[in-house]
Amino acid sequence: MNLLPLGLNIQGRRAVVVGGGPVAARRVAALLAAGAEVVVVAPFACEDIADAAAAARLTWLVRDYAAGDLEDAWLAFSATGSPQVDARVAADADAARVWCAKGGDSRNSRVWTPAVAEADGVQISVNAGGDPRRAVAIRNAVASQLDSGELPLRRHRRSGQPGSVALVGGGPGDAGLITTRGRRLLAQADVVVADRLGPRGLLDELAPEVQIIEVGKTPGHHPVPQHEINRILVEQALLGNRVVRLKGGDPYVLGRGGEEADHCRAHGVPVEIVPGVTSAVSVPAAAGIPVTHRGVAKSFSVLTGHEEIGTVPPGTDHTVVLLMGVSRLRDTAAALLAAGRPADCPVGIVEDGYGPGQRVTTGTLVTIAAKAEAVGVKSPAVIVVGDVVRLSPHYE
């Protein structure tokens, strides 16, 4: 059957639903969401319809269908389960020139109800030749791709709405470890302010017109200082852009996300925080090192340097995770020894976690600095100190 696909603006228009079962309830819910003036004709109705009637969201005529019930209607749905009643409603609708979806008889229906997926103002309607299960299966597949950001959701026309900023935690770098929400926001972005770490491969999937602003930092080298990053985020959002600040790990775990969020809010820019898989936990896991393990360690601390070493428990059953600590490794190891950790306390270093250059170096507090220097350990790397390192298959 040839169909003309259309989007129907039925806000404020009367729509009549004949029937009160689950199918009718689904039609009612869609009509109410579209702003229609809904009239239900049925001697009995399921709870959803009854509740909506009690809340005065629709009119329920508690009786069988009768001639004249389609008067002033713009659209009708017949879902009584009775072929005779549904045929009568469809015939009356034809006579009154009212478009009618005839339940259970798609071949003789003037209107087909599609399976619908929605995301960020995009609505996908699927008809499958009268096969509703097939339509739903296709709809679900499309909806999954919309949610995951695999389909291009970016707007190409300005909506007139103000811009916004999303601080997206990209995880340790593997494109498969960003959250679904983060991937979707990337697909919608006009501007991406990107770190050196994080899922860089996803940038290659963006449309050519998406502006990518590089603000990556390396140890001891910050070509774009934090106050300038803050300014860029606000400036781009005030231009009406959807801005994604793509960060490695989690924005709120030693990522200065709180500062960026505060700056955006202080300038009236809406900001959303999308958590990510922090490298403090995920990178050790890539090397088979759990930060906690029953009978081995039940707590852990995440630090960025040796200055805080005196604040953590000295026992090897408390895991210490060091971020950005390669350049101060010798000093940090000495500080841990001075704070009471035993000389044979295991240490593991995981470079480029989940990346093509992932490498694991293990040793003890006494030997690790020399081993790291010998093999040329470089950032990005996560250092783990504690008994849990022995659980790694790389531990020697």
The first and second tokens of residue 51, run together, are 């509740």
Q: How many Cα atoms within 13 Å fall on the side-chain side of residue 258? A: 3
Concerning whether 371 is annotated as a catalytic residue, the answer is: no
The set of long-range contacts for 65-68, using a CB threshold of 8 Å and a minimum separation of 24, is 65/18, 65/41, 65/89, 66/41, 67/92
Name the CA radius of gyration of the chain, rounded.
30
- Cα–Cα dist 204/390, whole Å: 38
User: 43 exposed, middle or buried (CB, 10 Å; 0-12, 13-18, 19+)?
Assistant: exposed
Helices assigned H by DSSP within 74-224 = 83-95, 132-148, 180-188
Q: Which tokens go with 344?
A: 């044979």
Active site residue 217: yes
Closest CA to 96 of 124, 111, 76: 76
Structural contact between residues 263 and 230, judged by C-beta atoms closer than 8 angstroms? yes
Q: Which of 92, 195, 250, 352 is catalytic?
A: 195
CA distance 151 to 187: 7
Cis before residue 380, ω within 30 degrees of 0?
A: yes
d(CA 250, CA 257): 8
Question: Per the residue annotation, which of 217, 331, 371, 378 is the catalytic one?
Answer: 217
Cβ(244)–Cβ(215) under 8 Å?
no
Contacts 24+ apart (CB under 8 A), 230-233: 230/259, 230/260, 230/263, 230/264, 232/193, 233/165, 233/193, 233/260, 233/263, 233/264, 233/269
Where does 176-331 show beta strands of DSSP type E?
191-194, 211-214, 242-247, 271-274, 299-303, 318-323
What is the rounded distance in angstroms from the CA atom of residue 22 to the CA atom of residue 29?
10
Q: Which residues form the catalytic set?
A: 195, 217
